[in-house]
Amino acid sequence: MRAALLDEVDGPFEIRDVPEPVVDGKVLVRVRAAGINFADVLVRRGRYPQMPELPAILGSEIAGELEDGTRVMAITSGAGGYAEKVAVDRAQVVPLPDHASFAEGASFLLTFLTAHIPLTRQARVRPGSVVLVYAAAGGVGSAAIQVARTLGARVIAAVGSAEKLDVCRSLGAEEAFVYDELPEDIGADVVLDPVGGDLFASSFARLRPLGTVIAIGSAAGAWPQIEPARLVGRNVGLAGFYLGRLLRLDPELVGEAVGELLGLWHTGALKPLVGAELPLEEIEQAHALVESRQSVGKVVLLP
């Protein structure tokens, strides 16, 4: 089968013929679409905390077909999605709704779970709550705007460039700003932060009392230290979320959240935003779109 391999940190992806994956109690999926996640960019650059052994086939989120033609989507623990076939744990296989394309299926589970679980289990989002979302036009961000709207929140979106503002508004954000123009006095109940770095540090001043910052990712660089005294003094909280570990430690909770999300997708309240679809051969261009911050929604490879 054809697959995109990463041989070394900072190296190019190379399309090669490799043996089919060993099934070994798993389910073999013919991959029709593989979502690129920012974690894949970090792995390629050697910046991911849990680096895989290289050479490796990256890609943690796919949609495709089982051998009997059943349409499915899955999170592929251990990656392997940037290939024609991948072996997936049976428990991770979720039916792809009839109304969904393969590209949408490869843009759904990881991003929407990463938005939905923190907003429903770690923070108290109620009708009228103000939810501030960073990188709001991206994969997790575009999902977070939609999930927060399903909870009745007022969503304020923040992004890195002005071209992304309209996408955020079209997804349901009431207001959208580039980071430099984001007001201080937003009074957010929740800040959902996939960006990290200085933006993360500035978030606490944008919370109203009893608000929470949820740290999801550090696309812009490591998180600065936060003193508990600062949290106590401001009556605010900090939560962290990492789906990979939750999948291992509490698969039942994740399964419950998948069920909720499928229900919301079915009603039309949610819809994955597919920003670009490229053949596997164009993986360099696809990764460049995400890494250069030009992508909106999800960039999807079609093996």
Ligand X SMILES: NC(=O)c1ccc[n+]([C@@H]2O[C@H](COP(=O)([O-])OP(=O)(O)OC[C@H]3O[C@@H](n4cnc5c(N)ncnc54)[C@H](OP(=O)(O)O)[C@@H]3O)[C@@H](O)[C@H]2O)c1
Interface positions with ligand X (CB under 6 A):
37-39, 110-111, 114, 135, 137-141, 159-161, 164, 194-195, 216-220, 241-243, 290, 293, 295
Which of residues 1 and 278 has its CB atom nearest to ligand X in the complex? 278
Give percent helix, percent strand, percent coil of the chain, each to the nearest 5.
Answer: 35, 25, 40
Instruction: Write down the least CB distance from residue 54 to ligand X, Å.
Output: 19
Which of residues 4 and 274 has its CB atom nearest to ligand X in the complex? 274
Instruction: Write down the least CB distance from residue 182 to ligand X, Å.
Output: 11
Instruction: Write down the least CB distance from residue 84 to ligand X, Å.
Output: 23
Please tell me what DSSP assigns to residue 91. Answer: G
Residue 204 region by backbone torsions, left for phi larger than 0, else alpha for psi between -120 and 50, else beta: alpha
Helices (H), the chain: 38-44, 102-105, 109-117, 139-150, 165-171, 197-203, 228-234, 243-249, 251-267, 283-291
Which of residues 116 and 164 has its CB atom nearest to ligand X in the complex? 164
Torsion, Cα of 47, 107, 146, 194 (10° steps): 0
State in Å, rounded, how far the first CA of the chain is from the last one. Answer: 10
Which of residues 64 and 196 has its CB atom nearest to ligand X in the complex? 196
Instruction: Write down the least CB distance from residue 290 to ligand X, Å.
Output: 6
Which of residues 152 and 244 has its CB atom nearest to ligand X in the complex? 244
Instruction: Write down the least CB distance from residue 215 to ligand X, Å.
Output: 8
Which of residues 129 and 218 has its CB atom nearest to ligand X in the complex? 218
Cα separations in angstroms, 297 against 1, 146, 153: 28, 12, 21
Which of residues 85 and 164 has its CB atom nearest to ligand X in the complex? 164
Which of residues 21 and 258 has its CB atom nearest to ligand X in the complex? 258
Instruction: Write down the least CB distance from residue 134 to ligand X, Å.
Output: 7
Q: What does the angle CA 225 – CA 231 – CA 236 come to, to the nearest 5 degrees?
A: 125
Q: Rounded CA gap, 15 and 71, in Å?
A: 25
Instruction: Write down the least CB distance from residue 275 to ligand X, Å.
Output: 8
Instruction: Write down the least CB distance from residue 111 to ligand X, Å.
Output: 6
Nearest to 155 by CA among 174, 177, 178, 171: 174
Cα separations in angstroms, 46 against 8, 39, 42, 73, 134: 9, 10, 6, 27, 24
Judged by DSSP in three states, 68 sits in coil
